[in-house]
Amino acid sequence: MSRQHEPLRYRRRHGAAVTIHDVAARAGVSVATVSRVLNGKELVREETSRQVLEVAKSLRYVPNSAARTLSIRRSQTIGIVLPEVHGEFFSEVIRGIDLAARAAGYHILVSGSHSDAREMIDVLDAMRGRVDGLVVMAPDVALAPLRDQLAHKLPMVLLNSDDERHAAITIDNYGGARAMMKYLASLGHKRIAFIKGPEQNGDASERLRGYRQVMKAHGGSSRELEFEGDFTERAGFDAVQAILSLDPRPTAIFAANDSMAVGALSALAAAGIDVPRAMSLAGFDDIPIAHYVNPPLTTIGVDIAEVGRRAFAVLADAMQRGSNTRREECIGTTLVVRKSCAVPTSRIQKVRGRKKGEGS
């Protein structure tokens, strides 16, 4: 038996942090009382409470959260897992969640840069016991393996992915794309080229769907106006080359995201084509740069911080109920009109002509 080493309990080692026992001893009460005072829920005599609080403050006592977590099986922390932690989008999402989470007394444990599913699962597992819930944004390919491998049944909300078993927050890509298309149509555009996003990307396919829906509604549903793209500037640049060689040249280009629109803009400038006079151009996302390019880009804005906020709200609800229910929330978009779209030239002439005729 190991009874020969003297009990270390209550003996403060040098440099060690002050514990609830220290406070209890100094205040002349039991640890239970201290705990009760600090958590404030139970009945404690006014005077005892005051005294304990005083001692705690003078000792600069801060409860050890690992112990607390272990004991109550709640960490007051949520995990955020993203494929990347890079760029405006993710930073905004994190900010949105952070704000909401801190207001509710939660901390956030962030992990980014996960290329494959395996890595992602490792991170998720490593979060076990550290977090009470998860906000996950999985690259689409990683989602399927995730479902099965997940060891824990933690409350979880998905961003921009869909799933039958969890809550999801998505962006209204379809509605946004339609809104932009309707705007372009209202200006008088009929031949509108579309630069697509990556094949398997969910956002991309919804935006494409919106484009097609409006094109079809206006009678011009051919696929020859759709061009490949992968959300990079380069892709936008390249797509323009192909678009310009079309014979009845389109009067407008709608890129599935702003980065490609920016790339397209350079290509257009290089080809000496005036935007918006000779060609209208639209993007999607309203990244900060959209504001600065010349001309400023007309695009679809998404309140990204709101995505984060809502994600937390839904997660908070799931954590409270301790269950994961399928549920989808869709964040709306706004049409941001700047200077890159105008009435097509052919139309201007027509309109002028008619007016002249009417006037004379």
Partner DNA sequence: CCGCAAAATGTAAACGGTTACATTCGGGGT
Partner DNA sequence: ACCCCGAATGTAACCGTTTACATTTTGCGG
The contact set with a copy of itself (CB under 8 A) reads: 15, 17, 60, 62-70, 75, 77, 84-88, 90-92, 94-95, 98-99, 102, 107-113, 125-130, 151-153, 262, 288-289, 292-294
Q: Give the residue from 199, 197, 81 showing the smallest Cα distance to 141.
A: 199
Q: Give the residue from 170, 161, 171, 81 showing the smallest Cα distance to 126.
A: 81
The interface partner of residue 48, options being a copy of itself, DNA, none and the CB cut-off 5 to 8 Å by kind, is DNA
Tokens describing residue 96: 């949105």
**Is residue 151 a contact residue for DNA (CB under 7 A)?**
no
Closer of 73 and 356 to DNA (Cβ): 73
Q: Which helix (H) or strand (E) holds 333?
A: strand 333-336
The interface partner of residue 20, options being DNA, a copy of itself, none and the CB cut-off 5 to 8 Å by kind, is DNA
* Binding residue for DNA, selected from 14, 15, 16, 247, defined by CB under 7 A: 16
Number of residues interacting with DNA: please give it, by CB under 7 A.
40
Tokens describing residue 31: 């640890």
Min dist. Cβ of residue 339 to a copy of itself (A): 13
Min dist. Cβ of residue 130 to DNA (A): 12
The CB density around residue 238, as the number of other CB atoms within 10 Å, is: 20
Min dist. Cβ of residue 189 to a copy of itself (A): 25
Angle at 98 between CA 321 and CA 136, to 5 degrees: 60
**Is residue 31 a contact residue for DNA (CB under 7 A)?**
yes
CB 191 within 8 A of CB 251: yes
The interface partner of residue 112, options being DNA, a copy of itself, none and the CB cut-off 5 to 8 Å by kind, is a copy of itself
- Whole-angstrom Cα distance, residue 271 to residue 349? 23
- Whole-angstrom Cα distance, residue 337 to residue 212? 21
Cβ-based neighbours of 262, under 8 Å, separated by 6 or more: 233, 236, 283, 289, 290, 293, 297
Stretch that binds DNA, among 20-28, 113-121, 137-145, 231-239 (CB under 7 A): 20-28
- Whole-angstrom Cα distance, residue 313 to residue 298? 31
The interface partner of residue 8, options being a copy of itself, DNA, none and the CB cut-off 5 to 8 Å by kind, is DNA
The interface partner of residue 95, options being a copy of itself, DNA, none and the CB cut-off 5 to 8 Å by kind, is a copy of itself
- Whole-angstrom Cα distance, residue 280 to residue 265? 10
**Is residue 320 a contact residue for DNA (CB under 7 A)?**
no
Considering only residues 47-66, where is the footprint of DNA by CB under 7 A? 47-49, 61-64
Judged by the rule CB under 7 A, the positions of this chain that interact with DNA are 1-5, 7-9, 16-17, 19-21, 28-33, 35-36, 38-39, 42-45, 47-49, 61-64, 67-68, 70-73
